[in-house]
């Protein structure tokens, strides 16, 4: 089992940047594919970005492509989400998630993930 703790959320003006971190417990972090999802009030949870076990493969939602970057440091048991050029529509609670993965796949549906963090609020003002 793995526990996930997100940090780095906050209030930022449109056009600004934030870097989210997700620290994982346990010694098998490198066996998990990781993902970031977000949920805005009144909306369903949506996929943001995903990264494979080794970090070799990544995938982004069209809405964040070119603005957000997902990365991981397996030595530090941490996955990151660098968010640039933030827009008010990026306002949401951001969750990281871990999936017991085969090979270097990435996963974009929440049902594929086994563990979730508690979320961190990101608010972008216009």
pLDDT digits (tens, 9 = 90+) for 58-116: 999 999 999 999 999 999 999 999 999 999 999 999 999 999 987 889 999 999 999 99
Three-class secondary structure of residue 90 per DSSP: helix
Q: How far apart (Å, rounded) are the C-alpha atoms in residues 105 and 60?
A: 14
Instruction: Inform me whether the pLDDT recorded for 4 exceeds 80.
Output: yes
pLDDT digits (tens, 9 = 90+) for 65-75: 999 999 999 99
The strand pair at 10-13 and 120-125 is best described as: parallel
Q: Quick one: pLDDT band at residue 124, thresholds 50, 70, 90?
A: very high
pLDDT of residue 26: 80
The mean per-residue pLDDT over the stretch 42-68 comes to 97
């Amino acid at each position: 089992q793995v526990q996930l703790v997100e940090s780095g959320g906050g209030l930022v003006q449109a056009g600004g940047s934030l870097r989210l971190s997700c620290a994982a417990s346990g010694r098998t972090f490198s066996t998990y594919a990781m993902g970031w999802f977000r949920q805005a009030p009144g909306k369903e949870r949506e996929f943001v970005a995903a990264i494979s076990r080794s970090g070799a493969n990544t995938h982004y939602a069209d809405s964040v492509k070119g603005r957000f970057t997902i990365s991981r440091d397996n030595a530090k048991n941490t996955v990151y989400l660098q968010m640039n050029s933030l827009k008010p529509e990026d306002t949401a609670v951001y969750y990281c998630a871990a999936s017991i993965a085969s090979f270097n796949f990435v996963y974009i549906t929440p049902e594929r993930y086994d563990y979730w963090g508690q979320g961190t609020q990101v608010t972008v003002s216009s």
